[in-house]
A = this chain, B = another copy of it.
Amino acid sequence: MTKTETSHLVADVFNTDFNHNLNYSTLGREILNTAEQHAEKRDFGLTQIRKSNQSWVLSRLTIEMNRMPHVFETYSIDTWIENIYRMFTNRNFCIKVSNSTDDSDPEVVGYARSVWALIDNDSRQPLDLTSLYGETFEKWLYPENPCPIDGHSRIRPLSSYSSEVKYAIRYNDIDCNGHVNSVKYLEHICNLFNLEFYKKHRLKRIELAYVAESYFGDTLHFFMTEIEPLRYQIEIAKSSTADETPTTVVRSFVTFA
């Protein structure tokens, strides 16, 4: 088995946006699915870690695309582990579009970076990855494989904002872990911009820092400000009653080109 796992996909008609480009929520979902498949085949996927009452928790996700796969294009997602540390592990991704039927000369269209922690399901506390999975991971580490996009930015709490959008969490937002699906935050962030904006600008890079979980019954608040031209900081906070002060769930930067 190789250090990288690859998903082979097609930008289906019903996963593309009005510009005939694959949408970010589908790409994000397939990125996480590829990560899970990599882990599953190497004995640290959900099936295995559930037996130890553990879960993987996504802490950071950054996706940067030079272009999105167009409708009907076949594309692939490679994933590999960059490194393992005591409290987290880095996993990277490379997204390629196939330009020929034998896939001999694929075009790299983007990369992604992610950071994961392993938690105990009862205490919800992070576990020591090196001692638990250090040996298991050793043969899969692939730090020399290039991931040429910038690392995750430090995202400070938002001090002021120019707009607030509220959204009541719905059934489809909740995934099999019982909380809001990591990719749904990405989808809701994409939805903060209107069609006219997307006709002029392309979403080039999105960075998500997952701070806390949110649940059915919560209302999400999307506080947004343009920190420099075409670069936005978005802080998602949750509240469970109308009176409650919202607390931060996700911090994000999005950059358009």
Contact = CB atoms under 8 A, between A and B. Distances in A.
Contact of A12 (B20, B33, B170, B217): B33
Report, nearest first, the 4 A-B pairs whose CB atoms are least far apart: A170-B191, A195-B216, A12-B33, A16-B176
A49 interface: no
Contact of A36 (B13, B36, B190): B13
Interface in A46-71: 46-47, 71
A176 B71 contact: yes
Nearest to A26: B29
A20 B176 CA distance: 5
Contact of A172 (B12, B175, B187, B217): B187
Nearest to A11: B176
Number of copies: 2
A255 interface: no
Contacts of A12: 29, 33, 36
Interface residues of A, number: 39
A194 interface: yes
A187 B174 CA distance: 13
Interface in A3-39: 12-20, 23, 25, 29, 32-33, 36
A29 B15 contact: yes
Nearest to A36: B13
A191 B176 contact: no
A25 B174 CA distance: 13
Contact of A176 (B17, B25, B47, B217): B17
A17 B190 contact: no
A23 to B, nearest CB: 6
Contacts of A174: 17-18, 195
